[in-house]
Amino acid sequence: MFVYLLMIICLHQLWFFLQMLEKFAEDDRIEQMNAQKRRMKQLEHKRAVEKLIEDRRIQFQRERVRRPSLS
């Protein structure tokens, strides 16, 4: 009877261990996905800022053409 009890305890510990491995693997997958989404969002913001800078540069050039300096 004692041997069976030990086997049940060992099986339960093994089951718990496997469940934790599965949980950590899922957590890692989610973390990796979140990191990828964060990188994509940062790249999207960088492109938006670069576009704003380029639009501002073009606007400045157009204004310079419209109003030549008095020098």
- Alpha helices per DSSP H over the chain: 2-66
Q: 19 is written with which tokens?
A: 């469940």
**What rounded mean pLDDT belongs to the chain?**
93
> Who has greater pLDDT, 6 or 69?
6
- Report the pLDDT value the prediction gives residue 31, as an integer from 0 to 100: 95
- Report domain extents, the chain: 39-64
d(CA 13, CA 65): 78
> Who has greater pLDDT, 27 or 67?
27
d(CA 29, CA 23): 10
Residue 68 confidence (pLDDT) above 80: no
The pLDDT confidence band at residue 1, using thresholds 50, 70 and 90, is confident
How far is residue 53 from each of residues 36, 39, 41, 58, measured CA to CA in Å? Answer: 26, 21, 18, 9
